[in-house]
Structures are given as C-alpha cells and as structure tokens.
Homo-oligomer: A and B are copies of this chain.
Amino acid sequence: MPLEIPEVVIDRLPVYYRLLSRLQADGTAVVSSQELGLALGVTPAQIRKDLSYFGRFGKQGRGYSVQRLTEELRSLLGLKRRWKVVLVGVGRLGRAIASYRGFEPQGFDIVGTYDVNPEAVGSGADDIEVRSVADLQRDLTVGPVDIGIVAVPGTEAQAVIDVLVCAGVTAILNYAPIAAQVPANVEVRQIDPVLALQGMTYHLNRRAGQP
C-alpha cells in the first residue's frame, strides 16, 4: 500500500463502485476480477492491481465478496457520509443540474444555489431558492460547503471559482468551457460535452479517409 496512488487509479474506483452496487442490488454474492473486467471493458489484472493499492479484498480461488468490496469502496471514496454542494449558475444548464435526481441518492446534497440574477429563476414550478452570487462569499463563511458546481458562462467562471477557492472549497465540478486556474490543493473535474465530441470527430474525420 504505497503512499502515492496514481490519479488514474482513483478515477477508476467510482466506476468499479458503480458496477459493484448494481451487482449487490442484483443479489450477486461473489465476483471475480475476470467478470468485473468483462463488464467494464478493462483487463482483470488492472482491476486486481488497482484494488491492491488499498488492501487485499479478495479470496484466492473464489473472487471478491460483492458486499465486502462495495463497502470497502464506499469507505475509500468517502461515500459513508453526505457532502454539501453549492451550485453557482442557474440558467438553463444550472436548472437541469439542480433538478437532477442522481446526486442525492449518492450522498451529494445541493445546499445552496446562486446566480447573478436570482429573481429570473422563480419562473417555473421548481421550488429551489436562488440567492445572489454577491452573497456567496459570506454564505460560505457562515456555512462551509465541500464542493462547488460551476454552471455559469465561461466569462464569469474563473471569478466564481476564485470566490469558491478563497472561501475554502477544495473540490470543483466545472461545467463552464474554461480551463480553471486553481491552487494545487484544489480538485477540479471538467464536464464538457463539446470537448468530448471534438475528441471523437478527430477519429470520424480520419476514418473518412480510408473506409
């Protein structure tokens, strides 16, 4: 169990965890690295090696207890507690994020939503209270949060991220189309469908040459 675990390994753990959760719900008791690898499209060796960074969770000749491994991953990933999240930006995208039902069951609670223009939001039947971004810094001092989700236009995103970081938020999920500048101790993950599409059109374009 070395002190330096590669970031790629950490980013695969949630993928393993998600599959394990499903297997557990399906009532599967035991699973081998072979079976996991098949379902996820990765090699069994990689799964065993990844898990071996954190402990010995399997049984030789048998495989892994689904129950046990799910619990270990929950623990490793910090999913035994709930996490406080603020959402900044409540435009079209922000509203979709605010109403997404997938966060809460996984332990992520959106405890505040902010926008430069808070009154523009009470338009629908959605019952979310939106505060002004001007209040963000103060609110974070009063009630700290763990994670910030940024869904403002690219032009405003860095300023919002700066406020979050200054207020001590050390994890940011960035939907804005910019490369966020943050100190080394702050985690950032980028969600950007356009970048993903453009990575694929490279291949589509290339294939158009010799089909």
Does A141 make an interface contact (CB < 8 A)?
Answer: no
Interface string of A187-211 (1 = CB under 8 A from B): 1010101111111111111111000
Pair B205/A77 contact, Cβ less than 8 Å:
yes
A198 with B79: in contact, given A170-B204, A191-B193 (CB under 8 Å)?
A: yes
Pair A204/B78 contact, Cβ less than 8 Å:
yes
- Do most interface residues of chain A lie in helix, strand or loop, or is the interface mixed? helix
A203 with B39: in contact, given A79-B198, A196-B191 (CB under 8 Å)?
A: no
Does A57 make an interface contact (CB < 8 A)?
Answer: no
Interface string of A166-180 (1 = CB under 8 A from B): 000011010001010
Residues of B within 8 A of A40 (CB): 179
Shortest Cβ distance from residue A77 to the other chain B in the assembled complex, whole angstroms: 5
Does A4 make an interface contact (CB < 8 A)?
Answer: no
Shortest Cβ distance from residue A180 to the other chain B in the assembled complex, whole angstroms: 8
Residues of B within 8 A of A181 (CB): 41
Residues of B within 8 A of A11 (CB): 195, 199
A177 with B83: in contact, given A13-B202, A77-B198, A200-B189 (CB under 8 Å)?
A: no
Checking B41, B106, B193 against A197 with a beta-carbon cut-off of 8 angstroms, the contacting residue is: B106
9-residue interface stretch from A59-67, A91-99, A112-120, A128-136: A91-99
Does A76 make an interface contact (CB < 8 A)?
Answer: yes
A14 with B195: in contact, given A83-B201, A92-B100 (CB under 8 Å)?
A: yes
Q: Which 9 pairs between the two chains have the least Cβ-Cβ distance?
A: A78-B205, A96-B96, A14-B198, A189-B196, A171-B200, A78-B201, A187-B200, A14-B195, A11-B199
- Measured CB to CB, the residues of A under 8 A from B are 10-11, 13-15, 17-19, 39-41, 76-79, 83, 85, 92-93, 95-97, 99-103, 106, 108, 146-147, 149, 170-171, 173, 177, 179, 181, 187, 189, 191, 193-208
